[in-house]
Amino acid sequence: MSQDRPLSFEFFPTKTDAGHEKLMGVARQLAAYKPDFFSCTYGAGGSTRDRTLNTVLQLENEVNVPAAPHLSCVGDSKQDLRGLLDQYKAAGIKRIVALRGDLPSGMGMSSGELRHANDLVAFIRAETGDHFHIEVAAYPEMHPQARNFEDDLVNFARKANAGASSAITQYFFNADSYFYFVERVQKLGVNIPIVPGIMPITNYSKLARFSDACGAEIPRWVRKQLEAYGDDVKSIQAFGEEVITQMCERLLQGGAPGLHFYTLNQAEPSLAVWNNLKLSS
């Protein structure tokens, strides 16, 4: 299988200098595989705003891979968002991941002038025209706060119609959920590329907590096998690598336009899957 579709990697900004240096080392290691871009997350209510900005600029300028900052609207004023967009534009950033964002505890939903991701997409387009390639989030297994699946599909279509260029999904472990989601939104007239988000399996307890919080279903057979390994880290990682590789093969064979890896600031788990897929660098 040749790399005829783009791959990308996501990082989160670190809290310490040592963590940041480790992150930059991981980024340089992944850069050798010529990814399409690196994305960098943005904490609840913009809590990592400065760290996200600094990380993105360093990725863009020193690692020489296009960087895509996450930008959320909850908790930020239009003036704050406008200032960030101006900084990114001046720095030559060409891609943004536009999200509603999570609320810090104690912050009401009314915080910020823009309430929804489609509002943010429309705002970015109004402020910057076609300068940015705008990514939005997709939820093949439904956003955990959505009232129902039909509403969630309509919400996604609203983001696409507001001016999104493409989408990255929440991670999942069932390829059918991805294909069904794409089929359903296409029936709503949405034809932007929807790239599967891929979470390598390396630690079962952490994965279970993440998945319960974000609504990503771990299939029962995968859960039971991971539970059976207990504290056998090598077996967990080997099994996880096999499961994710097989899913990625099916996604690419089924027409997925690329893969976006949630690295958790580690290189090896994502590269193991990449190399198993025999994707050229």
Point out the residues that are catalytic.
Answer: 10
| Token reading at 127 | 């402020």
Q: How far is residue 214 from each of residues 5, 203, 209, 265, measured CA to CA in Å?
A: 27, 17, 9, 19
Q: Residue 138, class by beta-carbon neighbours within 10 Å (0-12 exposed, 13-18 middle, 19+ buried)?
A: buried
Q: Determine the length of the chain.
A: 281
| Residues in a beta bridge with 67 | 38
| Token reading at 234 | 């090598």
Q: What's the angle, vertex CA 191, arms to CA 43 and CA 150, rounded to 5?
A: 70
Using DSSP, how many helices (H) and how many strands (E) does the chain show?
Answer: 10, 8
d(CA 160, CA 122): 10
Helix, strand, or coil (residue 221): helix
Q: What's the angle, vertex CA 84, arms to CA 137 and CA 109, rounded to 5?
A: 55
The secondary structure of residue 217, as a DSSP letter, is P
- Token match 């056998």: residue? 232
Q: Are 149 and 179 in contact (CB under 8 A)?
A: no
Q: How far is residue 200 from each of residues 17, 35, 268, measured CA to CA in Å?
A: 26, 17, 10
Q: Are 229 and 242 in contact (CB under 8 A)?
A: no
